[in-house]
Amino acid sequence: NTGRAGKKALVLDCDTRGPSALESVQTSGKGKGDKPLVATTDQKGLSRDVLPGVDVMTMSNFRSPSDQMIAPEALRVVLSELSPHYDLIVLDTPPLLAFPDAAVLSHETDGIVLVVKWGVTTQENMKGAMRQLEAYDARTLGAVLTQVPAGSASGLSGAALQVYRHY
C-alpha cells in the first residue's frame, strides 16, 4: 500500500543474529506464478524497491563490538541519515522475549508495535513482553495479529480474507 499511496517506506532489519526481513518482504510480494522480485543492493546493505515504494536495509554491519545487538548510537546515526528520504521507517528486531533489542532500541523510535502470531503467542507471552517493554520504559503503540486462519475472524468470510493470504 505504501507504493500505491505514493509514499516511501524503509524496513531496517535489526536482527543481527538471523536477518530475514528482505526474504520476508520479497516472499510476501509474490503471488502464484510471479517471477522472483529482484532488488538492487548497495554497499551499505540497502536493497531498493523490494516492493513498490519499499526499501530494505540489513543492519548486521552496525552491531556493537561487544554484543550481537545494534548499538543505539549507530541506529540513531542511520535514522538521522535516512529519515529525510522516507515517510515511514519500520525496525524489524529479534523476538522480544528472547532478546532485549526491541526494548533497548525503542528509545530511538516513535514506539513499538508488537507482532503476535495467531495460535502460537500465548497470553503469558504477551504479558511477559509487555512487562519487558515497561521495564525499559518503551512506548507501546499497539499490536498486529498475524496468520489468522480464514474464517476465524468474526464476521469475515474466507473469501474476504484471501486478499491477505501472504501475511
**DSSP letter string over 7-53?**
--EEEEE--SSS--HHHHHHHHT--TTPPPP--EE-TTSEEEEEETT
What's the CA gap between 104 and 10, in Å, rounded? 20
Q: Which residue in this structure is represented by grid cell 520479497?
A: 26
What's the CA gap between 88 and 103, in Å, rounded? 19
Task: Give 29-36 contacts, CB < 8 A, sequence gap 24+.
Answer: 29/166, 30/166, 31/166
Q: Which residue in this structure is represented by grid cell 517471477?
A: 35
pTM: 0.75
All three cell numbers of 105: 532500541
Higher-pLDDT residue of 61 and 36 is 61
What's the CA gap between 69 and 98, in Å, rounded? 12
The per-residue pLDDT for 142 is 92
Are 93 and 101 contacting, i.e. CB atoms less than 8 angstroms apart? yes
Sign of CA dihedral 66, 70, 75, 78: positive
Question: Which of 12, 107, 116 has the alpha carbon at shortest distance from 54?
Answer: 12
| DSSP bridge pairs for 104 | none
pLDDT in tens, 116-138: 999 899 999 999 999 999 999 99
The H or E element containing residue 12 is strand 9-13
pLDDT in tens, 64-83: 666 688 889 989 999 999 99
